[in-house]
Amino acid sequence: MTDVHRRFLQLLMTHGVLEEGDVRRLQKHCYQVHDRNAPVEKLEDFINTINSVLESLYIEIKKGVTEDDGRPIYALVNLATTSVSKMATDFAENELDLFRKALELIIDSESGFASSTNILNLVDQLKGKKMRKKEAEQVLQKFVQNKWLIEKEGEFTLHSRAILEMEQYIRETHPDAVKTCNICRGLLIQGQSCETCGIRMHLPCVAKYFQSTAEPRCPHCNDYWPHEIPEVFDPEKERDAGVSRTSRKSLRARQH
C-alpha cells in the first residue's frame, strides 16, 4: 500500500460511485502526484491490491454495471453492515424510513420503478418526526442528488450506487419479492422479461447475450424474445462521440 493507493482511496471516497473512465483518470492522477515515472498498474490489479488491504476492515471497492446502459462503475461498499447505514449519517430517521418505503415499492413493482405519488402516499407511515408531502418531495430529490435514486418522468428507481451498496441487504430483507437476472444471477431492479415464462434479464445482459444474434430467443423457454435488444456499452464509442466525461458538471447532469 503506497501513497498512490492512499490518495486514490481518499479521493475515491469523495464519490459515492464512479464510472470506470473516471476511475482510470483518478488512478493516473495519483501516479502523477506520487510516482510520476512509474508505469500505471492495470486497474484491476491496482484495485485488487487495495481490496486485499481493505478486507480486514470489511469494506471493498466493488465493481458493477449500470442497469440501464451497462456502464462499468465502482463504489466503496461496506461488507459487514447490511442496513442503509451509509445513508444514516446524511439523513434523519424519517428520511431513511422514506427511502426504505420507496425501496420496497421499487422492489415490488413490475417495472422496477415506483411512482412519486405512491411513495408520497406513504408519508403518514414514516417513523420519526412527521413529514409532509411537500417535504417528502424534497427529500426524494435529495436522494437523487446523492445518487441513491434515479428519477425518470416522475418515477423513481434505484441508482446503481444503491444496488452496489445494498444488494445483500435487499436480498435479505425481501427474499421473496427480489428479482434476479437469468444470465448474471445478480439482483435485478430494471430489466426485460420473457412474456411467456417470466424470466428476467438486465438490459446490459440482454445486450451481451443477444449480441449479433439474428433471432433472439428466451434462454429458458426458447420463445421469441419480444423486446428491443439494446447495444452493448462501448467506451470507445463514447470517447469518439466527444462526450465530455471529464467535466464534473456533465457527470452530475447525467441521471446515472
Partner 1 sequence: MSQIPRSRGRPSAFALADRERERGRGGDHPSPSADVSEEAPSTSRGPDARAVPAPGPGGGRRFQAAPAVGPRTQKQLELKVAELVQFLLVKDQKKIPIKRTDILKHVVGDYKDVFPELLRLAAGRLRDVFGYELVELEPRSNAYILVNTLEPVEEDAEVRGDQGTPAAGLLMIVLGLIFMKGNTITETEVWDFLRRLGVYPTKRHLIFGDPKKLITEDFVRQRYLEYRRIPHTDPVDYELQWGPRTNLETSKMKVLKFVAKIHNQDPKDWPVQYCEALMDEENRARPPSSAPAPSS
Contact footprint for partner 1 (CB under 8 A):
1, 3, 6-7, 9-11, 13-16, 18, 22, 25-26, 29, 32-33, 53-54, 56-59, 78-83, 85-86, 88-89, 92-93, 96, 100, 127-128, 168, 172-173, 175, 248
CA nearest neighbour of 192 among 158, 162, 219, 154: 219
* DSSP H helices in 2-121: 3-13, 20-34, 43-54, 85-88, 93-108, 116-120
Tell me which amino acid residue 248 is.
R
Query: Is the Cβ of residue 84 or residue 181 nearer to partner 1 in the bound state?
Result: 84
Torsion of CA 156, 161, 163, 164, to 10 degrees: 180
Q: How far is the CB of 93 from partner 1 (least distance, A)?
A: 6
Give the nearer residue to partner 1 in terms of CB position, either 82 or 121.
82
Nearer to partner 1, 6 or 256 (CB): 6
Q: CB of 60: closest distance to partner 1 in angstroms?
A: 12
Q: Contact, 103 vs 110, CB < 8 A? A: no
Write the CA distances from 200 to 61, 69, 120, 188, 233, integer angstroms: 27, 16, 28, 8, 19
* N- to C-terminal Cα separation, the chain: 31
Minimum distance from CB of 1 to partner 1 (Å)?
6
Cβ at position 147, least distance to partner 1 in Å: 10
Min dist CB 247 to partner 1, Å, is 10
